[in-house]
Amino acid sequence: MRVVPVSELHHECGVAAIYHLPGAEAGQVDVARLVPRMLLDMQNRGQLSAGMTAWNPDRNQLLVTHKDVGSVSEVFRMSQRNTFESLMHQLTGRAAIGHVRYATCGADDPGYAQPLERPHIQKRKWFAFGFNGQLANYPELRAEILADGDNHLARDNDTEVIMHAIGRELAGDADPEPADLLGAISSRFDGAWNIALLDACGRMIVARDPLGIRPMEYAIDGGVMAAASESVALLNLGFPAESIRSLEPGTALVIDREGLRVVRFSAPRSRAHCFFEWVYFANVASTMDDRSVYLARKRLGEELARLETVPIDSDTVVVPVPDTSKAAADAMAYRLSIPSVEGLIRNRYTGRTFIDGPASRRQKAESKYTPLREVLEGKRVLLVEDSIVRSTTMKVLLGRMRSLGKAREIHVRIACPPIIAPCFYGIDMSTIDELFAPAFLRDGVLTEQAQAEMAARLGADSLRYLPVESIARSIGLGQDQLCQACLTGHYPTVSGARLYQIAVEQRSRGHTGRTYEAVSAR
């Protein structure tokens, strides 16, 4: 889905799928009601909207979709038992897909919520799907569709473009095999695109893009198959940990009359797993591509400890910025033999600061974290954060830690290298100027002087980032298997690299606005 600049870093979305397999009549046939529960475990991946589509061959309305703006609990009325049960009765089914969304375009428009359904009189052409990622060549694909004056796109996002690409492969009498359908659209897509699709015949396709940029986990047990962007959603359904595995890039799970099978639709190629999934986005309880999110963050903290030079005394403490920094902070403190304390309490009910205007964002940032004076007063604080993207929250936070918390010193430690380039694969940062770090780097090099200047701008006594090589070492994957484009400016796809060059040109000319808009104007 397309994005616009916002104040804090957020992911686009997450997908889920579940199926009571053909021939497996034992157990609970109505598995669709489990989708809201799966989506709750992935709420970290999207809070703007949620939805699901259920398939029931015993119902006239073979596919039923329910979606709306709001959190999972709000959309499915989970706090109102009778209303929730009534809704689940309408959504009964032996197969279902679900989606949570985090985008800034059409934030208040339920029409942007997913799954996106395409009704049709022919059952095989009637389908719904959810999408996780972003197409870097979206402007070209959109222009290609609109080149025919008879065509129209109702919304300015790549989800609708994907729907039309799938529809085109099903046009006329065409009835391609899933591998052929996915191979055809894969040859045209550039970027990250995990898809969960369900049609009115009961066929389900769960696909992971050829680079494996976004995660996709699945499990099969007791006649039920489930897939999700986060392994924790499967674990909490009761799937044994040993049954959960990662879907290989360029492959898809297919369930139809023939049963369940894994098909390859793209030749094996280099991988580009998004490193930020381990650093920030994913639930700390998840495992992706056989790498634990928790252990990766723990190792990042150990990397920070290895580089620490601030004098340690009895008044030195480590404080994590809640919540994604806690694993790194605890590991850092353990290695330094000093306490890791909760000097900041997060107010979970302030809302998300990134969807508001600047004035409102600052007000919410001020109430987002409450410094504990009893913990911070007179202390030398090593403040651990997972990333700094635009610095809005960090500036406010440091001011409050000094004025309210009475901290003596604050040394900011970032369990990540500086973000220097936009992401065109599903993270909501699309221009260079909106990022904090680039203005301080000389020829892209992070120096001690640059970090000192950043610390002064933020109001910290010092600041330190991790070097790029720490990321691959902490995750346990080779650098050639990770997408680190936002750290290095080196993109794994042709369109991503081209968009970055446009972003650099835009910045040099003093132009503002989204990189995609510059492409569309050409």
Catalytic residues, by residue number, are: 13
Sign, CA dihedral 299-301-303-305, equals negative
What is Dmax (Cα atoms) for the chain?
76
User: Going by C-beta distance under 8 Å and a sequence separation of 6 or more, which residues neighbour residue 374?
Assistant: none
Contact of 66 with 91, CB cutoff 8 Å: yes
Whether the upstream peptide bond of residue 492 has omega within 30° of 0, thus cis, is no
Query: Would the CA dihedral through 471, 477, 478, 479 be positive or negative?
Result: negative
In contact, 386 and 414? CB cutoff 8 Å: yes
CA separation (Å) from 252 to 181, 215, 218, 503? Answer: 11, 13, 11, 33
3-state DSSP call for residue 16?
strand
Q: What is the pairing mode between strands 273-274 and 482-483?
A: parallel
Residues 6+ apart with CB under 8 A from 376: 319, 343, 401, 405, 406, 407
Phi-psi region of 510 (alpha: psi -120 to 50; beta: other; left: phi over 0): left
